[in-house]
Structure 1
């Protein structure tokens, strides 16, 4: 297959839509990605006790996403895919980041010490992805769709606990599990589900945003949120590279490096899907150059994000669906999105506003989002022909990864290095899957479906 599947495009990759149409398409991309960009920062801030820093971190996440989206679309110095691929904070790194943060917190470190270690490791880790971008076609022979599917499924399943905890009121909340919290959280889930069943594609696209808005309104009407809490400030967020200092821990870095490898392969898949929708070749030298430049862009954008005091960036897959929906594949629309994100990031008041969202509302939305992440991994696994070799790889990888997530005390007496490496469900599942894929030889064994056909 040398040509992509034809798609009904109104504006192709190099076309320049009029300002009005570009702005409207940019708004749709923003709706599809905004919650995904800011939610990882909110989760990290809430769980690690960084509430005082969250408004600034949210602003930097938006700013980094804007800069990254511009690089991918404009392709300066040949860096970036030269496509409409929105960059945003990656959910994939949550487990490794939280593990490193809790390690510092358990040692008595405060918010600055936590952010110093996490952001420094994210900065160094970005060079892993920058290096991998030059060998990404070979890397796919090791990090296969089977491995990627296992890791993504593990990420989603292990994070569902975070969403459910917030839905019940938040960790250590005095009213944890109170009926009003559960009802509000379930109401948000119900709204998101209802919006997703709509025949209107714009409503489906905005389901998360609409669910959050409906939850905030319900919280206001029931008195769970005071109207005065929604005030917006015009304080500017000024980027300060390495604002929290610089530190490093090798043991905590290893799980993060593994996720950078997985993220590189996942980005390759996202960019390939974008090529198909945008009517670009998916084989040949031009395709390989685009993928290498796109993964290089991801790595550079993650480095810039760390410099700006934000977390690793990646190419958002949901925006590929927006291209198909709008019929606008023009990379110049990406520059509109980038401009909007940069402007939003300069106002720290957005972060303050997001902090006022009641935990059950945020929990209801993130519960669905994390479930969707798990489903994305399952869909990848469903494309595989599952012979006995692959079944045992999946079983053992999930067993170790999710088992350690459920019973983290298993390695409580092991050296700290071992505890840190295997503290992330996603990293543990990924390392196990890679090791077993290399150790267990492939055979010509038929799948159950093939044998009974």
Structure 2
């Protein structure tokens, strides 16, 4: 009886689920984030002119570091690092443009390009650690009207990613076969959610990905040739490409991007706090951002890129309703182990994008629903909160509707405002200060 009372006092986010259940939720998180985790190394490696074998090495380095970063963030390091929430870390796409620009200045010398990128990553990680306490103190400017708006914008910003996945991450007319595959995977996902019970229902996304990939293989829409060529084991030694080069302009570029990543990371962490019913406290956000900074610094040492919470996994937390952070802990261990297996990295790179697009509609839509749920607790009558939400979402739509909108603006404008999440988040914070804080006694 006493043991049952003690268990009832444990917050859902700290609940230790039985291993017989937790492993399947963890694998589901791994599958959900792997597409994004492998996409960045493929893009940066291609821009740098690396060989296919070196690109696979980058993929494994990314999985290895994602595992370490996820463990730091979800399990925590004492009371210093980690938000201790079910968050999955990985390389953000927001840093891709800056890193490919840095690498592009060293065409013909891939080693120099990579060492310059990794030097900038190390410096950006240190920069993040130093200014994280400042971000934590700003949490009072993130009431529910701001957090709800930011979470909604994250969901809106992610939905086009699901659509682009259907066309292999390209903005072009869809091939009917790709679209039919995505619709079939979406239908499978919905059927699984309707008819599976208990633990199996929460793993519907994982099963949909597996079934969708098998279906794509049968239809000839999947290419697994890279898996056969990949080796079984690799070790991610520090400074694989050589000693890091600390180029001033590259460091400034990536530090600016880090400010953007910290804004997005804060939004994602607040979204998960809301979903797992854990109070959003400045101290916890600071520890989360410091964990991102330390992980990013280590990422530069272990041959990969800036680490930040993955938004698609935020959607998965909302979709499954599994709030325990130990799901992320086990996912981190799995990612760490998989970082030693090149065949797995090649397999993840082989999951057809339309399959991911099919499950993306459900995952990303649930993030949007989370924002609506938070905004339902906001007082709109007699306030200007409606204006804050409306204008922030409107501004966030600019880069979503037209990715080239800021193309003719200075580089620093493009760096800050290329993301709808950043644009909308800054707008929500500033408008909340204007309407609800200025003149307040």
The separation in 2 between residues aligned to 1:46 and 1:368, in whole angstroms, is 26
Q: Deviations over 1:55-109 (max 9, x none)?
A: 334323332233234435664454335957454227xx43x32443575689896
Match of 2:376 in 1: 382
Q: Please state how far the C-alpha of 1:153 moved relative to its aligned partner.
A: 2.7
Contact 1:133 1:264 in 2 (8 A): no
Distance 1:303 1:376, change over 3 A: farther
Out of 213, 224, 240, the position equivalent to 2:238 is: 240
Out of 11, 19, 36, the position equivalent to 1:40 is: 36
The separation in 2 between residues aligned to 1:439 and 1:13, in whole angstroms, is 34
Q: SS of the residue aligned with 2:140? A: coil
Q: CA RMSD, aligned part only?
A: 4.4
User: Please, which moves more after superposition, 423-432 or 44-53?
Assistant: 44-53
Distance 1:68 1:153, change over 3 A: same
Q: 1:49-448 residue pairs with structure 2 within 5 A?
A: 49=46, 52=52, 55-72=56-73, 75-76=76-77, 78-81=79-82, 85-89=86-90, 93-94=92-93, 96-100=94-98, 123-127=122-126, 129-131=128-130, 133-134=132-133, 138-171=137-170, 177-225=174-222, 231=228, 233-241=231-239, 243=241, 246=245, 247=247, 248=250, 250=252, 253-264=255-266, 266-267=268-269, 270=272, 293-308=287-302, 309-314=304-309, 337-387=331-381, 388-441=383-436
The separation in 2 between residues aligned to 1:319 and 1:62, in whole angstroms, is 19
Provide the aligned length of Structure 1 versus Structure 2: 421
Q: SS of the residue aligned with 2:309? A: strand
Contact 1:45 1:54 in 2 (8 A): yes
Q: Please state how far the C-alpha of 1:190 moved relative to its aligned partner.
A: 1.2
TM-score, L = length of structure 2: 0.76
The separation in 2 between residues aligned to 1:318 and 1:161, in whole angstroms, is 14
| Structure 2 segments unaligned to the other structure (5+ residues) | none
Match of 1:279 in 2: none
Contact 2:136 2:283 in 1 (8 A): no
Q: SS of the residue aligned with 2:141? A: coil
Q: Deviations over 1:282-335 (max 9, x none)?
A: 69xxx8876654553343234333433044133865787899859xx696x876
